[in-house]
Amino acid sequence: MKFNRDLRKKITRGIKYPVFIFFIKVFIRTIRFFPRKWVLGSFGSLGKLAYAWVKSESRRTENTIRHIYGEKWNNKEIMSFGKKVFVHQAWNLADYFYTINLKTREQFSKYWEIEGEEHLRTEYEKGKGVLCLMCHRGSWEFAAIAPPVLGYETTAVSKALKNAKINELIIKYRQNRGMKNLSRGKTYPLLLEAIKKGECLIIMIDQDTKVKGVFVDFLGKKAWTPIGAARLALDTGAPVVPMAMLRLPGHKHRFCIRPPVPVQNTGDTEADLLENTKRFTKAIEEFVYEAPDQWVWMHERWKTTPETVEEWEREKETGK
């Protein structure tokens, strides 16, 4: 019986996902026939409905907001902020679909303006590679594809989605913009190689993941933060340039590029990893404070605790 049940599930998935992908492709081709203003308005309304109907996600978002602003805001203010977060993420999805076939700087100039590109260009032209320190503020998908669209050789690492077909579709659209995509895993040598070639490397450290990290202050609370960016900076000597998208009134986007973050390299690896992770997180924090409702508060950023890390260590020791 179990064999038959598993077989039915496999067949169902084999039918369901291709059909789902087909409808996504049809939707992408169709959406461009409508005015962008109408598309954004429709998706914004869907964002409000999602906030009202998908209670598990809206509660998680509210709890994350409350973790930071609970002493300043009442429940009504927290819920109002949470709804703005959902609407903004819905707008991001709308823009992603609406512009998915655009590839060049000229085409995107209708939707983006660039601030501080001289910081990226100066470091890139040195030929030592650039660590593009990004975060999930504004349209982070736009931010990730911005360097290759602007003409910089770029590699990025992403976590593979559970469904291979959908994952392939997303990677395909990124590659169409010139991005080289690596799936998260044992990719560190490949990252070093990309930097050695003088490429831009997209790195994001503003989410809670089960990787090597340290606890540093983020928005006033200790957060488990990956040390990968700091390790790459120390191992390669590549400059770390913060950058992020910002949605402006009228729905144009500004790609904000800041001067490189100074990297500490004293020879004390542990201390340097901690200090540089603090510095990088501070740069990200500044982006978030500029437009807090454009960050992904539905992500459980402060989920990992010291007790969680101790449990990970015990699992490693016991081999579980």
Quote the CA–CA distance of 196 and 130 in Å, as a whole number: 10
Alpha-carbon separation of residue 67 from 61, 74, 136 (angstroms): 10, 12, 18
Q: What's the token pair of residue 187?
A: 């990719």
Quote the CA–CA distance of 58 and 54 in Å, as a whole number: 6
Residue 5 has pLDDT above 80, yes or no: no
Average pLDDT over every residue of 34-44: 95
pLDDT band at 160 (very low <50, low <70, confident <90, very high): low
- Spatial neighbors of 34 by CB under 8 A, at least 6 apart, are none
Quote the CA–CA distance of 190 and 205 in Å, as a whole number: 19
Let me know if 35 is exposed, middle or buried by CB neighbors in 10 A (0-12, 13-18, 19+): exposed
Average pLDDT over every residue of 29-33: 84
pLDDT value at position 122?
98
Average pLDDT over every residue of 66-89: 97
pTM over 0.85: yes
Residue 133 has pLDDT above 80, yes or no: yes
pLDDT band at 178 (very low <50, low <70, confident <90, very high): confident
Average pLDDT over every residue of 20-31: 72
Average pLDDT over every residue of 78-85: 98
pLDDT value at position 134?
97
The percentage of the chain sitting over the pLDDT mark of 70, rounded to a whole number, equals: 89
Extract the runs of DSSP E, i.e. beta strands, from 189-238.
200-204, 213-218, 221-226
pLDDT value at position 47?
96
pLDDT value at position 231?
97
Contact yes or no for 142/256 (Cβ under 8 A): no
φ and ψ at 203, to 5 degrees? -135, 140
Q: What is the mean pLDDT of the chain?
A: 90
Half-sphere exposure of 89 (CA within 13 A, CB side): 22
pLDDT value at position 13?
45
Over 87-110, what HEC string results?
HHHHHHHHHHHHCCCCCCHHHHCC
Average pLDDT over every residue of 229-240: 97
